[in-house]
Amino acid sequence: MQEIDYLIVGSGIAGLCIAECLHSEHASILIINQPLSGEASIVSSGLINPITGKRFVKSWNYHEIEKTFLAFYSNLEDKLQIKFLSELQLIETLHSAEEENQWLSRTADPEYMDYMGVLTAEKIPGFRKEELTVYGRINKAYRVDVELLLSTWMDYFRKQECFREELFDYNEIQIKSNSIHYKAMRINKSIIFCEGYRLVHNPYFNWLPLFSLKGECLQFYCDHLLQDHIFKSTYAIVPKGKHRFWCGSNFELDQMELNCTNIEMENQLNFVKNLVEAPIEIINHAFGIRPAIKDRRPVLGKHPENSRLIVFGGLGTKGFSIAPYCAIALKDHLVHSKPLPKSTDIGRFLKKHYQNHS
Ligand SMILES: Cc1cc2nc3c(=O)[nH]c(=O)nc-3n(C[C@H](O)[C@H](O)[C@H](O)COP(=O)(O)OP(=O)(O)OC[C@H]3O[C@@H](n4cnc5c(N)ncnc54)[C@H](O)[C@@H]3O)c2cc1C
């Protein structure tokens, strides 16, 4: 019988980050993943934007989160011998005098000075500009090369014989007093569910206040567009290297139809054609479903009755920045019995959601 410490279900950014943390603690792990329609990490642009929303607010716990992902990704680049994280400037289009005022008041705040630059009306090379358009520059934005990172990381775990392509079947779980079994495998510690939006189908965790945000994106080639900044207006245009660009995305609440739509494809295509001066060639149009939680924070921790069943979910729109922080906190909780940060702890939902559900 195969014996391992942790079984990890899902190899999106959540599953791979927790696998990395546990593997570096010398725990024996196995990742089970089946590429399923709607998976989010692989279609994402990997953009990390410190300042978001119409009011230009710094992302949740950003100081801590930035410090953590910079160290985590830098160690990972050394280990995997690839360069997947780039710091880029983000150019944000401001749409009204109110947004301009909001921007100006933020730039006067010492908390924001490092991140938000002066307003400019200068044309951005390669992009059409209306006469009155004003841009703000966001410094210290990053882009993760998602395809390179995920494929190299999964290959690494495959070579370590820690990765299997397979659909996880909840009916095959047997909970015993000192261990948990899955099919013919004995798991000494826990099963960690990192299933993205598919957590809604998980009989152990579907009581959580989950919701999903579907998004579509368009990839295109353009020989004449520069690769050195991210452009943001109604949609973002993110450079992907080798003259490839990613455009997206919309947010469709609880829209579970597993396909792309003609209407969104047209919206994005019109956006790109109206904005980009040079001809473009479409590579593909794709969709994914962001896994979110009603209070917009991730969810980590043990099942209230089966403490060997663990959840790592709800990464929402910011998976690539917050996954390393969450994975380290979850590893510290599981291996070193440290408490989870309160705002991520599954315990916050027990009273209202678990007790009402059972
Ligand atoms: C269009 C779009 C653009 C985005 N852009 C950004 C961005 O620029 N920056 C950013 O930080 N975030 C972005 N996001 C959000 C980000 O992608 C998510 O927060 C993150 O990818 C969620 O990761 P995850 O590992 O939880 O889920 P997923 O990436 O969905 O991974 C879950 C994996 O588990 C597998 N799985 C599920 N159930 C089972 C099972 N029973 N058996 C086996 N395998 C299973 C799935 O197939 C999948 O591979 C974007 C999302 C979308 C949809």
- What is the longest distance spanned by two Cα atoms in the chain? 70
Task: Provide the residue type at 44 as one letter.
Answer: S
Q: Which residue of 198, 231, 249, 296 sits with most ligand 1 atoms within 8 Å of its CB, as the best mutation to test the pocket?
A: 198
> Looking up tokens 């989160």, which residue turns up?
65
Position 357 pLDDT exceeds 80: no
What is the tens place of the pLDDT at every residue in 207-237?
999 999 999 999 999 998 988 899 999 999 9
Task: Provide the residue type at 53 as one letter.
Answer: G
38-49: average pLDDT: 97
Q: Whose CA is closest to atom 37 on ligand 1?
A: 195
Q: For strand 299-302 and strand 309-313, is the pairing parallel, antiparallel, or unpaired?
A: antiparallel
Q: Whose CA is closest to atom 3 on ligand 1?
A: 44
pLDDT of residue 342: 97
What is the tens place of the pLDDT at every residue in 58-104?
999 999 999 999 999 999 999 999 999 999 999 999 989 999 999 99
User: In a 3-state reduction of DSSP, which class is residue 203?
Assistant: coil
Nearest of 291, 285, 235, 290 to residue 260 by alpha carbon: 285
Position 256 pLDDT exceeds 90: no
Å from CA of 10 to ligand 1 middle: 9
Q: Which residue of 33, 163, 217 sits with most ligand 1 atoms within 8 Å of its CB, as the best mutation to test the pocket?
A: 33
Q: Whose CA is closest to atom 25 on ligand 1?
A: 12
CA 304 to chain centre: 26
Q: Beta-carbon neighbour count of residue 70 at 10 Å?
A: 16
Q: Which residue of 39, 84, 330 sits with most ligand 1 atoms within 8 Å of its CB, as the best mutation to test the pocket?
A: 39
**CB-based contact 72:328 (threshold 8 Å):** yes
Q: Whose CA is closest to atom 6 on ligand 1?
A: 44
Q: Name the DSSP class of 11.
A: -
Which atom, in ligand 1's list, is nearest to the CA of 322?
11
**CB-based contact 327:16 (threshold 8 Å):** no
Radius of gyration for the alpha carbons in the chain, expressed in angstroms and rounded: 21
Q: Which residue of 16, 21, 32, 36 sits with most ligand 1 atoms within 8 Å of its CB, as the best mutation to test the pocket?
A: 36
Å from CA of 71 to ligand 1 middle: 22
Which atom, in ligand 1's list, is nearest to the CA of 36?
47
21-25: average pLDDT: 98
Question: Which CATH class name applies to 2-43+148-209+294-357?
Answer: alpha beta
Which atom, in ligand 1's list, is nearest to the CA of 168?
42
Q: What is the mean pLDDT of the chain?
A: 95
Confidence of residue 254 (pLDDT cuts 50, 70, 90): confident
342-348: average pLDDT: 97
**CB-based contact 210:200 (threshold 8 Å):** yes
Å from CA of 323 to ligand 1 middle: 11
Which residue ranges does the chain devote to CATH 3.30.9.10? Answer: 211-289
Question: Which CATH class name applies to 211-289?
Answer: alpha beta
Nearest of 28, 69, 8, 36 to residue 311 by alpha carbon: 8
Task: Provide the residue type at 46 as one letter.
Answer: G
Which residue ranges does the chain devote to CATH 3.50.50.60? Answer: 2-43+148-209+294-357
Å from CA of 43 to ligand 1 middle: 8
What are the residue ranges of helices labelled H in the chain? 13-24, 62-80, 97-107, 110-113, 146-159, 262-275, 319-336, 355-357
Which atom, in ligand 1's list, is nearest to the CA of 312?
26
Task: Provide the residue type at 79 as one letter.
Answer: K
Q: Whose CA is closest to atom 33 on ligand 1?
A: 10
pLDDT of residue 358: 61
Q: For strand 210-221 and strand 185-193, is the pairing parallel, antiparallel, or unpaired?
A: unpaired
